[in-house]
Amino acid sequence: MTLLILGGTGEARELAKELVARGEHVVSSLAGRVARPRLPDGEVRVGGFGGPEGLARWLTENAVTAMIDATHPFAERIGANAAEAARETGTPLLRLARPGWTEQPGDTWHWADDLGHAARLLPDLGERVFLTSGRQGLAAFAGLDLWFLIRCVDPPAAPLPRRHEVLLDRGPYEPAKERALMEGHGIQVLVTKDSGGAMTAAKLTAARELALPVVVVRRPWRPGTAGVTTVQGALTWLSVTTKGSPA
pLDDT of 223 > 60? The answer is: yes
CB 51 within 8 A of CB 86: no
pLDDT of 245 > 60? The answer is: no
pLDDT of 247: 40
Residue among 174, 179, 184 at smallest CA distance from 211: 179
Percent of the chain with pLDDT over 70: 95
Average pLDDT of the chain to the nearest whole number: 93
pLDDT of 79 > 70? The answer is: yes
Q: What is the pLDDT of residues 33-59, one digit of tens each?
A: 666 778 899 999 998 899 999 999 999
Among 139-143, 218-222, 232-236, the least confident range: 218-222
At residue 193, the 3 state secondary structure works out as: strand
pLDDT of 224 > 70? The answer is: no
CB 168 within 8 A of CB 190: no
Looking at the DSSP assignment, which residues form a beta bridge with residue 149?
130, 165
Element (H, E) at 6: strand 2-6
Q: What is the pLDDT of residues 133-147, one digit of tens each?
A: 999 899 999 999 999
What's the average model confidence in pLDDT over 198-211?
A: 96
Extended beta strands in 74-188, E state: 93-96, 108-112, 128-131, 147-152, 163-168
CATH topology of domain 108-217: Rossmann fold (3.40.50)
pLDDT of 246: 44
Which top CATH class is 2-99+222-241? alpha beta
Looking at the DSSP assignment, which residues form a beta bridge with residue 160?
none
Domain with CATH 3.40.50.720 in the chain: 2-99+222-241
220/194: higher pLDDT: 194
* Spatial distance between the Cα atoms of 142 and 88, rounded to a whole number of angstroms: 40
